Amino acid sequence: MFYGQKDLAIDDKSRLVLPSLFRDEFKGPICYASLGMDGCIEVFPEEVYLERAKKITSLNDFDPKARQVKRTFLSNTFSVQIDSHNRILLPKPLALKTKVGKKVVVVGMFDHLEIWDSDIFLKNQENAESTFSADAMELNLN
Residue type, 128: A
**Domain boundaries in the chain?**
5-117
Contacts of 128 (CB under 8 A, 6+ apart): 135
Q: Rounded to the nearest 5 degrees, what angle is found at the Cα of 30, between the Cα atoms of 78 and 72?
A: 20
- Tens digit of each residue's pLDDT, the chain (142 residues): 999 999 999 999 999 999 998 998 999 999 999 999 999 999 999 999 999 999 999 999 999 999 999 999 999 999 999 999 999 999 999 999 999 999 999 999 999 999 999 999 999 998 888 888 888 888 988 7
Strand partners, 17: 87
Domain covering 5-117 assigned CATH 3.40.1550.20 in the classification: yes
What whole-number distance in Å separates Cα of residue 134 and Cα of residue 106?
25
What whole-number distance in Å separates Cα of residue 81 and Cα of residue 131?
37
Q: What is the pTM assigned to this prediction? A: 0.93
